[in-house]
C-alpha cells in the first residue's frame, strides 16, 4: 500500500499549517509534533485495508480541527494518480476528540501485485525502516516498519507501520534490496485449463 508516500504528503500540509500557527504564537517554546500509526491488512484479492491514526498534541489538534473543520480534507492526498490501483468507495475520516487524533479507514484496490504461481508482492516506498517480521495479531504474519523524520520547518514526526498478511499466506519474506514484502497464497480457483473470453 502506498500509505507512506501519501501520509507524508498529507502530513506536510498539516505541518505547514502548524508552522504558521506557531509563528503567530511565539510564546510557545516547543514546536508541535505528530505521530502517525498505520495498520494495513493485506487481502487475498490484492487489496489493502488501512487504518491510519494521526496523533497531535491537544493544542495542535484544536488548531488543526479549526483550520480543517471537515476531516475528509485529509483523504484528498490519498486519491489515486495511477491506473494500477484506486481508493475504494467508503473511505472514512473522523476527528477523535478523546485522543486528539484524526482517524482514517481506507481500502486501496490493487495494492499488491500478483507475480504468478501464487506469489504476491507489496512494494514499500522509500522512508520506512524495516524493524522485524513476526507473528502478529491472530497468528498472521506481520511486518513492522518504523518511520521518523521532520516535515516543514523541522516539525518532527514518527510512527509505526504494520502490514498484516492474509491468514493463509506462506513463505513470507522482506526483500530489502527491492523494498518488497513477498509471500505466497494457495490457489483457490477451479481446477482445469483457463479459457479467455
108, 165 contact by CB (below 8 A): no
How many Å apart are CA 17 and CA 20, to the nearest integer? 5
155, 16 contact by CB (below 8 A): no
SS3 160: strand
Alpha carbon of 85 to those of 8, 13, 23, 109, 152: distances in Å? 19, 23, 39, 5, 29
User: What is the rounded average pLDDT of the residues 76-105?
Assistant: 80
Summarised one tens digit per residue, pLDDT across range 25-73 is 323 223 478 888 999 999 999 999 999 998 888 888 888 899 889 888 7
* pLDDT at residue 102 tops 60: yes
More confident residue, 30 or 126: 126
Residue 121's nearest CA partner among 1, 5, 4 is 1
**Widest pairwise Cα distance in the chain:** 72
User: What is the rounded average pLDDT of the residues 67-85?
Assistant: 72
- Mean pLDDT, rounded, of the chain: 80
- Tell me phi and psi for residue 186, to 5 degrees: -70, 150
Amino acid at each position: 500500500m502506498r500509505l507512506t508516500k501519501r501520509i507524508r504528503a498529507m502530513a506536510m500540509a498539516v505541518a505547514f499549517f502548524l508552522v504558521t500557527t506557531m509563528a503567530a504564537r511565539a510564546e510557545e517554546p516547543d514546536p508541535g509534533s505528530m505521530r502517525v500509526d498505520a495498520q494495513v491488512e493485506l487481502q487475498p484479492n490484492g487489496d489493502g485495508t488501512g487504518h491510519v491514526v494521526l496523533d497531535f498534541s491537544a493544542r495542535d489538534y484544536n488548531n488543526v480541527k479549526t483550520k480543517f473543520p471537515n476531516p475528509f480534507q485529509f483523504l484528498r492526498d490519498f486519491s489515486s494518480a495511477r491506473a494500477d490501483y484506486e481508493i475504494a468507495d467508503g473511505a472514512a475520516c473522523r476527528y477523535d476528540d478523546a485522543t486528539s487524533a484524526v482517524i482514517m479507514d481506507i481500502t486501496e484496490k490493487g495494492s499488491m501485485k500478483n507475480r504468478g504461481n501464487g506469489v504476491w508482492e507489496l512494494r514499500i516506498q522509500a522512508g520506512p525502516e524495516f524493524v522485524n517480521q513476526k507473528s502478529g495479531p491472530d497468528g498472521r504474519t506481520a511486518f513492522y516498519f518504523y518511520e521518523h523524520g521532520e516535515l516543514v520547518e523541522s516539525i518532527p514526526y514518527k510512527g509505526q507501520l504494520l502490514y498484516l498478511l492474509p491468514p493463509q499466506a506462506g513463505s513470507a519474506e522482506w526483500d530489502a534490496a527491492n523494498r518488497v514484502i513477498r509471500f505466497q497464497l494457495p490457489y483457490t480457483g477451479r481446477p482445469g485449463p483457463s479459457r479467455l473470453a
